[in-house]
Amino acid sequence: MEILWIDGQNLKLRDVVEVARGRRRVRLTPECLRLTARCRSVVDLLVEHNVPVYGLTTGFGSKRNVFISREDTKILQHNLLRSHASGIGTPLGEDIVRAALLLRANALCRGHSGLRPVVLEKIIELLNRDVYPWVPDQGSVSASGDLAPLSHLSLVLVGDPGGRLYDPGRRRNSRRDLDIVETPDPEGFVSSSPENLKMFHDYAPIDLEAKEGLALTNGVQVTCALGIMNAWDAEGLATQADMSCALSLEAFQGIRTAFDAEIARARPYPGQVASAANVRILVEGSSILSSPLNLAILDKCIRQLQENQSAARATGMETEVLAIAAGLETARSNPHGLARDNADDLGHGDPSGNAAFASDPLTRSLRRGLHPLQVKLQSCIRRLFDSEEAIAAQLREQLTAVADLLERAVPRIPSVQDDYSFRCASQVHGAARNALAHVMDMLLIEANSSTDNPLVFPPDGPAELEDYKKSLTIEACRAAVRSGGNFHGEPLALAMDYLTMAVAELGSISERRVAKIVDGRHNNGLPSLLIHKSGLNSGFMIPQYTAAALVSENKCQCFPASVDSIPTCENTEDHVSMGLIAARKTRTVIENVEKIIAIEFLTAFQALHFRSPFHKELGAGTQIIFDEMEQNPNIFFVEEDRILAPLIFAVLKMVRTRQLVSAMEGKVPLVHQPAF
């Protein structure tokens, strides 16, 4: 990847992901260094003359009126980092920490923070030397910024032995096959002493001067970093939710008209239009969705006839029953031939004598092809009425059940609409996409904002730095430093709460599709729990339980963090956002929904085997999904009960690495909306 030049104005969300997870290298533009130097001149003049200005020559928070002499300003910066490094919890992954470093540098290089250019350069050096500071995930109320996490981050910048960095020799552990430490070993961190920084990364720490400790820690860049990674993963998840829905639609043999472009355009939310388009594209050309023949029902009929072979033998009807089973097997294995050999243009009439046999030519030809077998079956049933033996009554009951099933194999009147989990999928998925688009807008603004306090707005003056310094006055510099609240994380807190609910809904409707497909009473002919001999086998009973448990857990996570506030700093910071808590909850929900989507993919994959041979004639995209899963040696059709967790984990890895999305590239033009 080419070098990323940052200037505080033009950072894109994709840039952040590429630096965080792809180790893209970063440089500072000359212009941002020029602006930073001019801003620093204002700070230097005020400190030199001991002018009381918050954050420069005073304490912080409730100690804002405590004056700090020029001689103590350096000590103040290090005291700030050490005292504020009070976080606790699990260390954030390397991608989150790298994103936070980049975002903090981008905020500071806008020229309103008053630190020296060399501090910016050292932050970028940490990034480019792949230094991974220990940053705990708990302890921030996200106003005044992420003070504790950013303080832990900054301890490494200055080489404080109390800080910690990850030993680069330790094993990397990433669930997404990335060259980052996504889930670090807590024991893998060592002291960020100057000696360790030199030994591991050839990095020399920096001493801070006035205002710089505050500038480094006063902002919500950790919340924003986690938010951007959340948004990136949520975008991939939205696409895969469309894909799992499409595969389930095939497995269910549902009705695709709900995804018609005309319906989407009649209510043109961008997210709904995109989701509907994806499902249409994925199932285009599907034999399952184009045929009224329910192969799963034919398979049931065949198995029930074969399972009653002993009773048929005892009643002298084995030959007839097995002949019917063989005829159905021929029809099942060659459905196109069944339709072709009984087409209207061959001059066949309506064998049932019913003028309303079927309005659709394909339905007529399929029903015509099955009709002789139905006649033979009814003949067997009538003959069994002549016997008073119990076994004959039992066989008659079984054959009657097969006859009822066979009538449903090609229904006279097709189903007109599916239940909501299928029919309204693009509306629900689309709403989640719309929410994500709003969240991305918020994140992009935040990524290119100045968020510390106070901010410095340097007065106009000569272009040359030395001439500019000479032009400055104390009055102008004092007026240039302004206290405000851009560190408050409310915009991100609300955005993350919104995204949490949106992603949770992707999981909620996905679980309902899973429940529909495993339910033998409502799954359109598929066997109960997607297994033969259910009862003896429990099949896919418990994966649906697991999905249900994850959905319920997500509901607990969806209580908004942003509605809570606890005053801090001796009640001077009397309203806070809890933004990082909101972003952490979003991360939990995303990981849960990844698992739910994986369960849906696996459930649909299992179900499609019962619609053989149409499982090899799926849509343009759904066939790619099925084939990718089938080629994975850890994913296979389950014929009898076995441990299913390894199969779920195998699909989960495909979801997390976006393997199925990558398989579409150059073959199926999926719509990615919103686009990073």
205 pLDDT above the threshold of 80: yes
Say what the pLDDT of residue 356 is.
45
User: What tokens were used for 550?
Assistant: 């994850």
CA separation, residue 638 to residues 11, 318, 532, 605, 609 (Å): 48, 30, 10, 10, 10
The set of residues, in sequence order, having a beta carbon less than 8 Å from that of 601 and lying 6+ positions away, is 243, 244, 247, 625, 629, 651, 654, 655, 660
Q: What are the backbone angles phi and psi of residue 639, rounded to the nearest 5°?
A: -90, -30
pLDDT score, position 353? 39
pLDDT at 376 over 90: yes
Instruction: Determine the pLDDT at residue 352.
Output: 52
Q: Which fold has domain 232-289+420-435+506-664?
A: Fumarase C; Chain A, domain 2 (1.20.200)
Question: For residues 99 and 225, is the Cβ–Cβ distance under 8 A?
Answer: yes
Give tens-digit pLDDT for 353-362: 344 455 689 9
Task: Specify the 3-state DSSP secondary structure of 229.
Answer: helix
Backbone angles phi, psi at 591, to 5 degrees: -65, -35
Q: Which CATH number fits domain 4-219+453-486: 1.10.275.10, 1.10.287.4070, 1.10.2020.10, 3.40.50.150?
A: 1.10.275.10
Question: Rounded distance, CA 591 to CA 504, Å?
Answer: 10
pLDDT tens digits for range 501-518: 999 999 999 999 999 999
> How large is the greatest C-alpha to C-alpha distance in the chain, in angstroms?
117
CB 407 within 8 A of CB 374: yes
pLDDT of residue 73: 87
Residue type at 469 in one-letter notation: K
Q: 300 burial class (0-12, 13-18, 19+ CB within 10 angstroms)? A: buried
Span 36-61, mean pLDDT?
91
167-195 average pLDDT score: 88
Q: Rounded CA gap, 106 and 375, in Å? A: 78
pLDDT in tens, 395-421: 999 999 999 999 999 998 889 999 999
Q: Which phi and psi angles does 410 have, rounded to 5°?
A: -135, 85
Average pLDDT for the chain: 95
| β-strand partners of 164 | 191
How do the residues of the chain divide into helix, strand and coil, expressed in percent and rounded to 5?
60, 5, 35
Structural domain boundaries in the chain:
4-219+453-486, 232-289+420-435+506-664, 295-409
Q: What is the pLDDT, as a whole number, of residue 349?
A: 56
User: Nearest-CA neighbor of 80 among 204, 171, 210?
Assistant: 210
Helices (H), 415-540: 420-423, 425-447, 465-471, 474-480, 490-518
Question: Token pair for residue 232?
Answer: 């990136």
DSSP string, 275-316: HHHHHHHHHTT-STTT----HHHHHHHHHHHHHTHHHHHHTT
> For 450-479, what is the mean pLDDT?
96
How far apart are the C-alpha atoms of 258 and 253, rounded to whole Å?
A: 13
Q: Which has the closest alpha carbon to 197: 100, 116, 132? A: 132
pTM over the 0.85 mark? yes
- Residue that the structure tokens 């792809």 belong to: 22
Q: Which two tokens stand for residue 228?
A: 């951007």
Residues 235-246 have pLDDT tens digits of: 999 999 999 999
Residue 348 has a pLDDT of 58
What DSSP string describes 33-69? HHHHHHHHHHHHHHHHTT---TTTSB--GGGTT-B--
pLDDT of residue 355: 40
- The encoded tokens of residue 547 equal 């999905």
Q: Please report which confidence band the pLDDT of residue 344 belongs to, taking 50, 70 and 90 as the band edges.
A: confident
Q: 346 or 262, which is more confident?
A: 262
